[in-house]
Amino acid sequence: MKFRITTFLCFIAFITNAQFKIEGKVIDSISQKPLLGVNIFLSHTTIGINSNDKGEFQLGNLKSGKYELVLSSLNYEDYIIPIQINQKNEPYLIKMKPSANILKEVVVESYDPKGWDKWGDQFRQNFIGATLLARNCNLLNPEVVKFKFNPKTNRLRVFSTAKLVFENKTLGYKIYYLLTKFELDFNTKSFSFKGYPLFEELKPNKSKDINKWNQARSETFKGSIRHFIRSLYANQLEQDGFEIREVKTVYSIEKDRVNVRIRQLQENAGKGDSAIYKLEKDTLDYYIKVNLLNYGDTKVTLNKLIARDSIVFNTNSSMDPTSRSVYFEGMLQVIYLNKKMPYEYTKAVPNFTGNDNLRTDIYLRPNKSISIYQNGTYYSGLDLFTDGYWSWSEKVATMMPSDYILPTK
């Protein structure tokens, strides 16, 4: 079954090479006592630490920009806060609330005790992935995953009672993933997930492991959604091998109109009327594409390229000067010219034909925009939908930290 994904990447932006730090103290919101061993990290990065016996923490060597600071500890509610890092950062005093353990136990009892047997494959394919990388990306603590299916809404929700821990042997990362949302809608054949990952480098057994990891990371990054967002932000789509085109949805009444128009032009051409040769190339291309649609197909990708500056705008915000705003109506197709669709994708998609370049249809929630950042992350991910290659590929198995830098030649 093919599903459309709502992507989840959170926002982080780097704007200078200057190094900064954040520091603070974590206390119990009721007793006001310091908390030892609280896990503190910046989402989607390799940067994390635990609080000391005084509840204090410090994260250093940070680049200026916007992050999401995540704190988690057993028996306490997760604490997530967006922060802007600059030279004027004051120490944070964070008060963590004890969790309602009794309520959690009641909720856990309502989960499906045979969830893995019923829904495990759906969870793996839609969350971990079905790419080659997914074969070497293992969930080390599956017992914390709980499933709840609602037959009335025909939706599957997945929760976790602790951080998910993955080991990705191909990319060389251990991933600690705080899952806050996973929902699969069988009615619309769509799913969405959101969470906060912390990346940790695996220790290589051999020196050649590092070379293999670097090569796999580079190959995985190229053509990814993070690669595209970085390219879009930097206004270098052409140099990086990306193209954007408009996608039109063609309903039956439009198909009929185009087919009638084509017959008229052909008949008139036979009578010596040269009107068909006076059509604009884009119009003629559109007519041809509509005329060639197979039964049941409703999408036509236009040939004309979409200019980057027609969808990306400066925010002019003093609170968030590093972001750019992306807004467009309808649907666009993103094409990456430097890769072909992998064999695994072609087998997963019904009626797939040809040896196409990587391509994904994207669209926004009505009247919504997203903010993009220099390192390839964006906010709010739940307002951006993808259908095509990224909806299949952008999963935990292909996930990489936002501070990853593609090596230059």
pLDDT tens, position by position, 92-132: 999 999 986 544 544 555 788 899 999 999 999 999 999 99
Asked whether the beta carbons of 85 and 60 are under 8 A apart, the reply is no
d(C-alpha 61, C-alpha 198), whole Å: 17
> Do 277 and 348 fall within a single domain?
no
Say if 231 falls within a structural domain.
yes
DSSP 323-335: -EEE--SSEEEEE
Q: Is the peptide bond before 190 cis (omega within 30 degrees of 0)?
A: no
Write down the pLDDT at residue 7: 44
**What b/e sequence results for 46-71 when a residue is b if at least 16 CB atoms lie within 10 Å of its CB, and e otherwise?**
ebbeebeeebebebeebbbbbbbbbb
Q: What does the DSSP 8-state code read for residue 398?
A: G
> Do 245 and 267 fall within a single domain?
no
Q: Over pLDDT 90: what percentage of the chain?
A: 56
Say if 362 falls within a structural domain.
yes
Pairing of strands 190-201, 4-6: parallel
> Do 383 and 262 fall within a single domain?
no
- Domain ranges, residue 290: 252-296
> Do 366 and 239 fall within a single domain?
yes
> Do 291 and 364 fall within a single domain?
no
Asked whether the beta carbons of 394 and 225 are under 8 A apart, the reply is yes
Say if 302 falls within a structural domain.
yes
> Do 267 and 322 fall within a single domain?
no
Say if 369 falls within a structural domain.
yes
> Do 247 and 276 fall within a single domain?
no
pLDDT tens, position by position, 258-280: 888 878 877 776 666 566 556 67
pLDDT tens, position by position, 6-43: 444 443 333 345 578 899 999 999 999 999 999 999 99
Residue 158 is encoded by which pair of tokens?
């997945």
Residue 2 pLDDT exceeds 80: no
pLDDT tens, position by position, 166-222: 999 999 999 999 999 899 999 988 888 889 999 999 999 888 899 999 999 999 999
> Do 269 and 375 fall within a single domain?
no
Q: How confident is the model at residue 307 (pLDDT cuts 50, 70, 90)?
A: very high
pLDDT tens, position by position, 240-259: 999 999 998 888 888 888 88
Q: How confident is the model at residue 84 (pLDDT cuts 50, 70, 90)?
A: confident
Nearest CA to 24 out of 38, 13, 43 is that of 38
The H-or-E segment that residue 59 falls in is strand 56-63
| Dihedrals phi, psi of 298, to nearest 5 degrees | -130, 0
Instruction: Please compute the mean of the pLDDT values over residues 48-73 and round it to a whole number.
Output: 90
| Dihedrals phi, psi of 367, to nearest 5 degrees | 65, 25
Which amino acid is it at 296? G
Asked whether the beta carbons of 303 and 288 are under 8 A apart, the reply is no
Specify the residue for token string 């893995």: 116
Question: Which of 77-91, 211-225, 380-394 is predicted least confidently?
Answer: 77-91
Longest dimension (CA), the chain: 91
Asked whether the beta carbons of 244 and 308 are under 8 A apart, the reply is yes
Question: Which of 253-257, 319-323, 381-385, 397-401 is predicted least confidently?
Answer: 319-323
Nearest CA to 376 out of 14, 4, 5, 7 is that of 14
Say if 342 falls within a structural domain.
yes
In this structure, how many other beta carbons lie within 10 angstroms of the beta carbon of residue 280?
A: 8
Nearest CA to 337 out of 227, 212, 217, 218 is that of 227
Specify the residue for token string 């309520």: 103
> Do 269 and 385 fall within a single domain?
no
> Do 308 and 378 fall within a single domain?
yes
Say if 361 falls within a structural domain.
yes
d(C-alpha 293, C-alpha 115), whole Å: 41
Write down the pLDDT at residue 246: 92
Which amino acid is it at 329? E
Domain boundary among 263, 296, 329: 296
The set of residues, in sequence order, having a beta carbon less than 8 Å from that of 201 and lying 6+ positions away, is: 46, 172, 173, 174
> What predicted TM-score, i.e. pTM, was given to this entire model?
0.83
Domain boundary among 272, 296, 320: 296
Say if 241 falls within a structural domain.
yes
Write down the pLDDT at residue 317: 67
> Do 232 and 336 fall within a single domain?
yes
- Please tell me which residue, 342 or 348, carries the higher pLDDT value: 342
Nearest CA to 7 out of 270, 205, 191 is that of 191
> What is the count of structural domains for the chain?
2
Write down the pLDDT at residue 18: 57
> Do 329 and 347 fall within a single domain?
yes
Say if 171 falls within a structural domain.
no
Asked whether the beta carbons of 59 and 68 are under 8 A apart, the reply is no
Domain boundary among 273, 296, 319: 296
Task: Count how many residues are written for the chain.
Answer: 409
